[in-house]
Chain A
Amino acid sequence: MDTNTHHIIRVVGVTKTFALGKLPVQVLKGVDLNVATGEYLSIMGPSGSGKSTLFNIIGGLDKPTSGRVFIDEVDISQLDAYELAWLRNRKIGYIFQTFNLIPVMTALENVTLPMIFAGMHSDHAVDKGRQLLDLVGLGERFQHKPSELSGGQQQRVAIARALANDPAIILADEPTGNLDSSTGGEIIGLLQQMSEERAVTIISATHDFKMLSVSDRVVWILDGRIDKIENRDELNISLGTIQERHASAPR
């Protein structure tokens, strides 16, 4: 296969139906999507569009009702519990809106935990953890608990943790959703830097328009289907209209 078109993620005909009470609700109505290695992809869409569901399915946190998701050409709906755990541990790094650090552990312990799970020797894990915290600009605060860090700092720890086992993919679910605008900007900058320096594929679900300018592609989800996919060059032209649409949308 040509390296230029190597797809780290392939989503093929994915549907997802939830049983809401006795009523089945189809949240995803057939989604096809290819994500190239090293790409920075944003998934945009209003609440209830199926954005989060698609996101969870790509991350192996949820299973599709039908269709397939390939990560590195492995169909993840066919994986058993051990293989899924391995996938989450090595292949994917997760970043959440609510940071989701383990509150009883220090920043360093949070970052080293995935490496310990991966069987890395404790000393190596600590060394690498310190390096990663340096990288995200928190080298001095490695012994602080999450409650002693600001939101932006917690998200930096979460980014360091997501990078712990050198994953191929980072999934960021509204990474700036709980941060103020300037802190959010810093986090976006950091993610962009990671994507460029480490060639990590970044997929983020977001409402944040600052995220779009750094994305290689933006996927718009509407009513459980892909509405449109825009590349960065198309995006710069249409950004004005996006913001207009956003401003005029009923809140």
Chain B
Amino acid sequence: MTGPSDSQPRQKIARQIVLPWKKSLAMAITSLRIRFFRSLITTFSLVLAIAFLCFTLSNAAIARELFRMHGDVALPLLTQAGYTIDPTGQNILTGPKELWLMFLSLLVCTVGIVNAQLMSVTERFREIGIMKCLGALDRIILRLFLLEALFLGILGAGFGAVLGMIAAWCSSVFHFDTLSYTHMNLLPLLNQAARAWAMGVGLSILGVLYPAILAAKMQPVIVMKEEY
């Protein structure tokens, strides 16, 4: 066990290896830009899954608004479209089938992200090894990968959420064309889109966690091992 006198020089050394946030951000962005297509592929499953999630959530939000505005007039239309009224008769719920689909699509998406990120880490073993030879700490490598995933999440999930929202709007205008949309409150819709977005960012970071830890724990000697 290390006493206070023991741990003091250690902490001093820990603070001596740094990568400022500004520099970390710049490196993460450069890395994403240079590996643009690779990043695109990593994000693609996220965009699709979040678009689907947002589509389902937005549909429900629109349905609730239509129910609130038109009441019983909208009810047969909504029931026909697969929505169920909750026991209190106050609210419209998404069907259990949709919930299952949503869950499955998110699961598949997360597995896809883990897979793509593992691939990307393997491609960059050498680069990571070099950084470690130059003195990079585990947490610096971890931070770079997490930052990249954060950007991918913000952009990919943002794009997916907008896509899903637009699709939901078009679909509901098409399906419930007899109802008026004039006094509709858009706030619940945006709220659902924001939820889908946040979910996407979360999944992107969750998906990179294992690959990034793998990269951070890598021994620098791997750079020398190439010729064996």
A contact set with B: CB distance below 8 Å: 52, 56, 61-62, 80-83, 85-86, 88-90, 94, 96-98, 100-105, 113-114, 116-119, 122, 161, 173
A100 touches B227 (CB 8 A): no
A117 touches B223 (CB 8 A): no
B130 within 8 A of A: yes
Tell me the smallest distance from the CB of B210 to a CB of chain A, in Å: 20
Say which residue of A61, A81, A88, A102 sits within 8 Å of B127 (CB atoms): A102
In the complex, what distance in Å separates the CA atom of A88 from the CA atom of B219? 13
A117 touches B17 (CB 8 A): yes
Which residues in A have their C-beta under 8 angstroms from that of B137?
A: 81-82, 85
B17 touches A122 (CB 8 A): no
- Check A88/B134 contact, CB under 8 A, given A61-B221, A98-B226, A119-B18: yes
B30 within 8 A of A: yes
B132 within 8 A of A: yes
Number of B interface residues, CB 8 Å?
Answer: 33
- Residue-wise, chain B 123-142 has the 8 Å CB interface mask toward A (1 for contact) of 00011011111111110100
| Least CB separation from A117: chain B residue | B135
A85 touches B23 (CB 8 A): no
| Least CB separation from B127: chain A residue | A102
9 more A-B contacts (CB under 8 A) besides A81-B137, A85-B17?
A61-B133, A81-B138, A82-B137, A96-B224, A100-B126, A117-B136, A117-B140, A118-B16, A118-B17
B135 touches A90 (CB 8 A): yes
Which residues in A have their C-beta under 8 angstroms from that of B17?
A: 82, 85-86, 89, 117-119
A88 touches B223 (CB 8 A): no
In the complex, what distance in Å separates the CA atom of A91 from the CA atom of B57? 56
Say which residue of B19, B23, B31, B129 sits within 8 Å of A104 (CB atoms): B31
B227 touches A82 (CB 8 A): no
| Least CB separation from B134: chain A residue | A114
Which residues in B have their C-beta under 8 angstroms from that of A100?
A: 126, 129-130, 133, 223
In the complex, what distance in Å separates the CA atom of A70 from the CA atom of B13? 18
B221 touches A56 (CB 8 A): yes
| Least CB separation from A48: chain B residue | B228
| Least CB separation from A113: chain B residue | B134
In the complex, what distance in Å separates the CA atom of A80 from the CA atom of B6? 12
Which residues in B have their C-beta under 8 angstroms from that of A173?
A: 224
A97 touches B227 (CB 8 A): yes
Say which residue of A62, A88, A118 sits within 8 Å of B133 (CB atoms): A88
Could you list some 5 contacts between A and B, CB below 8 A?
Answer: A61-B221, A85-B17, A90-B16, A104-B30, A104-B34
In the complex, what distance in Å separates the CA atom of A140 from the CA atom of B10? 41
Which residues in A have their C-beta under 8 angstroms from that of B34?
A: 104
Which residues in B have their C-beta under 8 angstroms from that of A96?
A: 223-224
B14 within 8 A of A: yes
A117 touches B18 (CB 8 A): yes
Which residues in A have their C-beta under 8 angstroms from that of B127?
A: 102-104
- Residue-wise, chain B 1-23 has the 8 Å CB interface mask toward A (1 for contact) of 00000000010011011111001
Say which residue of A81, A98, A119, A122 sits within 8 Å of B16 (CB atoms): A119
Which residues in B have their C-beta under 8 angstroms from that of A89?
A: 16-17, 134-135
B164 within 8 A of A: no
| Least CB separation from A121: chain B residue | B20
Best-buried of B130, B131, B137, B224 by chain A (most CB within 10 Å): B224
In the complex, what distance in Å separates the CA atom of A186 from the CA atom of B10? 41
Which residues in A have their C-beta under 8 angstroms from that of B16?
A: 86, 89-90, 118-119
B211 within 8 A of A: no
B153 within 8 A of A: no
Best-buried of A61, A85, A89 by chain B (most CB within 10 Å): A85
A102 touches B130 (CB 8 A): yes
B207 within 8 A of A: no
Which residues in B have their C-beta under 8 angstroms from that of A97?
A: 227
- Check A82/B131 contact, CB under 8 A, given A52-B224, A116-B23, A117-B18: no
B224 touches A61 (CB 8 A): yes
In the complex, what distance in Å separates the CA atom of A80 from the CA atom of B136? 14
B220 within 8 A of A: yes
Which residues in A have their C-beta under 8 angstroms from that of B220?
A: 61, 88
B13 touches A86 (CB 8 A): yes
- Check A88/B132 contact, CB under 8 A, given A82-B137, A116-B19, A116-B23: yes
In the complex, what distance in Å separates the CA atom of A117 from the CA atom of B126? 18
